Chains A and B, each alone.
Chain A
Amino acid sequence: MSQREDIKKTYKLYIGGKFPRTESGRYIKWVDANNKGAVNICRGSRKDFRNAMVTARDAFSGWCSRTAYNRSQILYRIGEILEGRRSQFANELILQGSSKKEAGNEINQSIDRLIYYAGWADKYQQIFSRVNPVASSYFNFSYPEPTGVVSALAPNNSSLIGLVSIVAPIIAGGNTVVVLASEEKPLCSITFAEVLHTSDVPGGVVNILTGYRSELLDHFSSHMDVNAIVYCGNESEEIKLIQENAALNVKRPIVYTDENWLSKNVQDPYRILNTLETKTTWHPVGI
Chain B
Amino acid sequence: METFIHRIDQVGAQERVSRLFSRSIKKESKIDALNTVLSMIDLTTLEGKDSPGKVKQLCYKAAHLHDQFPNLPSVAAICVYPTMVPIAKKALENTNINVASVATAFPAGMTSLEYKLEEVKRVVVDGADEVDMVISRGKFLRGEYNYVSDEISLVKEACGQAHLKVILETGELVTLDNVRLASDLAMEAGADFIKTSTGKVSPAATPPVVLIMLEAIRDYYKKTGKKIGMKPAGGISKAKLAIQYLVMIKETLGQDWLDADLFRFGASSLANDVLMQIVKQSTGVYQSANYFSID
List A residues at the B interface (Cβ < 8 Å): 50, 53, 219, 222-225, 248-249
Contacts and interface: CB of A to CB of B under 8 A. Distances in A.
A225 B290 contact: yes
Nearest to B286: A223
19 contacts: A53-B286, A219-B286, A222-B285, A222-B286, A223-B285, A223-B286, A223-B288, A224-B285, A224-B286, A224-B287, A224-B290, A224-B291, A225-B286, A225-B287, A225-B288, A225-B289, A225-B290, A248-B285, A249-B288
B251 to A, nearest CB: 25
Contacts of B285: 222-224, 248
Nearest to B284: A222
A222 B291 CA distance: 14
Contacts of A225: 286-290
Contacts, number: 23
Given A224-B285, A249-B288, 12 more contacts: A50-B286, A53-B286, A219-B286, A223-B285, A223-B286, A223-B288, A224-B287, A224-B288, A225-B286, A225-B288, A225-B289, A248-B285
Contacts of B286: 50, 53, 219, 222-225
A56 to B, nearest CB: 12
B26 to A, nearest CB: 13
Interface in B276-294: 284-291
A21 B293 CA distance: 35
A150 B290 CA distance: 15
Interface in B55-88: none
A225 B292 CA distance: 12
Q: Which residue, of B285, B287, B289, B290, has the highest number of chain A Cβ atoms within 10 A? A: B285
Nearest to A49: B286
A53 B291 CA distance: 16
A219 B286 CA distance: 8
Contacts of B287: 224-225
A137 to B, nearest CB: 34
A222 B285 CA distance: 6
A266 B286 CA distance: 32
A47 to B, nearest CB: 10
Nearest to B291: A224
B291 to A, nearest CB: 6
Nearest to A50: B286
Contacts of B289: 225
Interface string B5-33: 00000000000000000000000000000
A118 B287 CA distance: 33
Q: Which residue, of B284, B288, B291, has the highest number of chain A Cβ atoms within 10 A? A: B288
Interface in B257-295: 284-291
B169 to A, nearest CB: 29
B276 to A, nearest CB: 9
A217 to B, nearest CB: 14
A214 to B, nearest CB: 17
